[in-house]
Amino acid sequence: MAKSGFVNVGVHIQGRVIDLRIPSLVTKIHLKRVIAEALSTARISLPVGFDLRFIGKPLEVSESVPLDSYAIGDGDQIEIVLKGRNG
């Protein structure tokens, strides 16, 4: 994890990649809210029940464990998984 307390990630949604700076101590549940709020400022709305998947990492991230407990760092990519899509 970055020592600054933040991580720079790419969020993949609707064929686009949006760069975000997220707090490293956030849980997956909170991260979903952070991402939804950040995307809403870009006029992208997410449906209730979306999920997050880290691209290229065989991680099953718990809903309630802070991200700094995992090997997640700058440059990692997160895919928005909508219900009924992407598995």
Going from N- to C-terminal start, the domains of the chain cover: 6-81
Is 17 a residue whose pLDDT tops 50? yes
Q: Domain spanning 6-81: which CATH class is it, in words?
A: alpha beta
DSSP string, the chain: --TTSEEEEEEEETTEEEEEEEETT--HHHHHHHHHHHHHHTT----TT-EEEEET------SSS-GGGSS--TT-EEEEE-TTS--
> Does 72 have pLDDT greater than 70?
yes
Quick one: what percent of the chain has pLDDT higher than 70?
Answer: 91
CA 51 to chain centre: 9
pTM: 0.81
